[in-house]
Each structure stands twice: as C-alpha cells, then as structure tokens.
Amino acid sequence: MTGRWTLVLGAVLAGVFALAALVSLVWVPVPVETFAVSFKLKPIGTPGFPLGTDHFGRDILSMLMVGARTSIAVAIVAVGIGIAFGVPLGLLAAAQRGGLVDELVMRGNDLVFAFPSLVIAILITAVFGPSATNAILAIGIFNIPVFARVTRGGALSLWTLDYIRAAEVAGKGRARISMEHILPNIANLLIVQGTIQFSLGILAEAGLSYVGLGAQPPIPSWGRMLAEAQTMIVMAPHMAILPGLAIVLTVLGLNLMGDGLRDLLDPRLRRTR
C-alpha cells in the first residue's frame, strides 16, 4: 500500500473516533449517567440502544463516545507534555553537543529504556492516587525523553549542514538558529513521532484504567468498560468486544497514519518497507 492510501485509511479510522469524541461533548444518544436497570445487558441492535447496554442499563454507544473523549484527551495531553519539555531539551542538547543538557538527555533515555514504563506508571498512580490526571502525568513523563531523543537526533544531523553554518557565520545565535532553522526542518520527524506516541498513549491509558489506575467512575473510559465487562463476559460478550474494538481501531488508525506520514514526508524510508 502506498503512503498516501495508508495515511487516508488511518486518518479515516482515527477520525471516526475523534469525531465521536467531539460529538459527545454536545450530544450523546443516551446520557451516560442514565441507569436504565430494566434495560440492562441488552444485546447489539436493541431499539434505542444500537450497540446494546451494560450491566447497569447504560447505553454502550454513548459510553464508547465519552470513553473516546477520555482516551484521546489523556493521550493528547501526554503527548503535549512530551513535546513541551522534550523538544526544547533536545534542541538545547544538540545546540550544545557534549554539554550538560546533552549528557542529561542521553542518560535520561537510557533510563527510560531500562524502566518498564507501565511499572513506573503503576508506581506513580499508586502513590499519588488513581486519577486521569496522574495517568496523564505517568504517561507524559515517559514521552519527554522520547521527544528529546528524536529532536536531538534530527537536530544534530542538521547542525552539520552548510546553510546552518552560514547562519552561524551571519551572526545568528544558537538559540535563534534552533528556533528559525532547525525546528521547522525537524517538524516532520516530530509529527510522525507524535502520532506513534499518541497511539501508545491510548494503549497505556486503556491499560491503566483497566487495572483501575486511570480515570475514575463515573467518567467512562474504554479500559474500565473492559474491566467491568470481564465478569459479564459469558452473559454479555458484546460488553467486552466493543470497547476493545474501539481501542484496536483507534490505535490501528493512528499507526497507519504514522506509517503513511513517514512514507510521505521521508521518501528515503520507502525502500525497505
């Protein structure tokens, strides 16, 4: 599949869930606070509840829509944290190669590779209490060194190029060169990495909320919907299948988008793929 089609397919998949999340801000088929116990555990296709209901009689379609909001919000903020701290660190590290910040960024990266991030996320949420905010922090902290590494790597290769040397000779400071010449030229790299971290963030949020360390009730989240479905799996398998499909399709969409973007933005990578 060419990069363009991969990108389109991915964008459509991810876009559906992004749209569902946006729509849920103003409208859901049935408010998720509505417990219609007499309608509990209805299967897919029940009139009024197109995707059925859960054990409290809540509408699963509405829960999935609001759940999309939770997942996407957590992942966006976590990626935002990574970019906001990681990119400046990476730029600084590359501008002062071999300096203190450079050393810090590299060692921070080693550490992140050594730590199973989920274990630390669990530790953080265990200590500070389970909540969506702490889940964001736990996921976001691990994005910082990732973006710092990508930024540093991209920037280092640019610093050797003639036009950057020319800018230096022309009297521009290293900070200004980083902002005016380096950053715009590594934006592609950052967009691709952002997409990858976004999809990893969705998976991490689902994992954390599945074990009860993410968003707390009554805020619906895909991970907790799965946790609640586990005991009902024999009576109501749709409760377990639907939120999982939502996660898979969103993550798949984002991964395809990442692949497609990389192919389009960096033709050199096409060869081996």
Q: Are 158 and 185 in contact (CB under 8 A)?
A: yes
Residue type, 121: A
The answer to whether residue 21 forms part of the interface with other proteins (CB under 8 A) is: no
* CA 162 – CA 177 distance, rounded (Å): 13
Which lies closer to other proteins via its Cβ, residue 71 or residue 178? Answer: 71
The answer to whether residue 71 forms part of the interface with other proteins (CB under 8 A) is: no
**For residue 53, which phi and psi values (nearest 5 degrees)?**
-130, 165
Which lies closer to other proteins via its Cβ, residue 150 or residue 229? Answer: 229
In the set 116, 171, 184, 217, which binds other proteins (CB under 8 A)? 116
The answer to whether residue 17 forms part of the interface with other proteins (CB under 8 A) is: no
Which lies closer to other proteins via its Cβ, residue 164 or residue 240? Answer: 240
The answer to whether residue 163 forms part of the interface with other proteins (CB under 8 A) is: no
Q: Which helix or strand (DSSP H or E) is residue 73 part of?
A: helix 60-95
The three-state secondary structure class of 186 is helix
Which lies closer to other proteins via its Cβ, residue 76 or residue 241? Answer: 241
Q: Give the residues across from 53 on adjacent strands.
A: 59
* CA 144 – CA 147 distance, rounded (Å): 5
In the set 86, 90, 194, 207, which binds other proteins (CB under 8 A)? 207
The answer to whether residue 196 forms part of the interface with other proteins (CB under 8 A) is: no
The answer to whether residue 122 forms part of the interface with other proteins (CB under 8 A) is: yes
The answer to whether residue 134 forms part of the interface with other proteins (CB under 8 A) is: no
The answer to whether residue 270 forms part of the interface with other proteins (CB under 8 A) is: no
* CA 127 – CA 113 distance, rounded (Å): 22
* CA 148 – CA 105 distance, rounded (Å): 7
Q: Which helix or strand (DSSP H or E) is residue 11 part of?
A: helix 3-26
The answer to whether residue 251 forms part of the interface with other proteins (CB under 8 A) is: yes
Residue type, 104: L
Q: Which helix or strand (DSSP H or E) is residue 260 part of?
A: helix 237-265
Q: Which stretch binds other proteins (CB under 8 A): 38-46, 147-155, 180-188, 242-250?
A: 242-250
The answer to whether residue 117 forms part of the interface with other proteins (CB under 8 A) is: yes
Name the one residue in this structure whose structure tokens are 């934006």. Answer: 187
The answer to whether residue 156 forms part of the interface with other proteins (CB under 8 A) is: no
**For residue 59, which phi and psi values (nearest 5 degrees)?**
-75, 120
Q: Which stretch binds other proteins (CB under 8 A): 15-23, 124-132, 149-157, 168-176?
A: 124-132
Residues that bind other proteins (CB under 8 A): 110-111, 113-120, 122-124, 126-127, 199, 203, 206-207, 210-211, 226, 229-230, 233-234, 237, 240-241, 243-244, 247-249, 251-252, 255-256, 271-273
